[in-house]
Amino acid sequence: MARQTKPLNNTEVKNAKAAEQALVLYDGDGLELQVTPGGSKLWRFRYYKPFTRKRAMISFGSYPSVSLSEARQNRESARALLSKDVDPQEHKKAEQLRQKSVSESTFEKVAAE
């Protein structure tokens, strides 16, 4: 039976501190907050790759810049991609490459070449 996880709240995220080892707080559905002893807080999402069924992890950013609600929205969009058998990491890389190619193929840059 799956473990029931109590969703995090903003106060828990804000006040989380790690002692000697990294502390991991679970929000549910694969979303977790890793708190390092140095004080950084990183949002991560654990999932199974669609075809190989291997465990994978994708990072959504650090806590102050990515809020709890934004991390949950990112988790839901990643889960939507997984339901369509699309790997969120591969989708993110492809999107970054597309953005790079769009920015590099402006008229000014093509004319300069």
Kindly give the confidence (pLDDT) of every residue in the chain, 113 residues in length, as a single tens digit, with 9 standing for 90 and above.
567 788 999 999 999 998 899 999 999 999 999 999 999 999 999 999 999 999 999 999 999 899 999 999 999 999 999 999 999 999 999 999 999 888 887 777 777 77
Tokens of 51: 């075809």
Can you give the residue ranges of every domain in the chain?
Answer: 10-86
> For position 42, what pLDDT does the model report?
97
Cα–Cα distance, 26 to 14 (Å, whole number): 14
> For position 107, what pLDDT does the model report?
74
Cα–Cα distance, 104 to 85 (Å, whole number): 30
Exposure string for 65-89, b = 16+ CB within 10 A, e = fewer: ebebeebbebbeebeebbeeeebbb
pTM score of the predicted model: 0.84
Topology of the domain comprising 10-86: Double Stranded RNA Binding Domain (3.30.160)
Cα–Cα distance, 15 to 17 (Å, whole number): 6
> For position 4, what pLDDT does the model report?
79
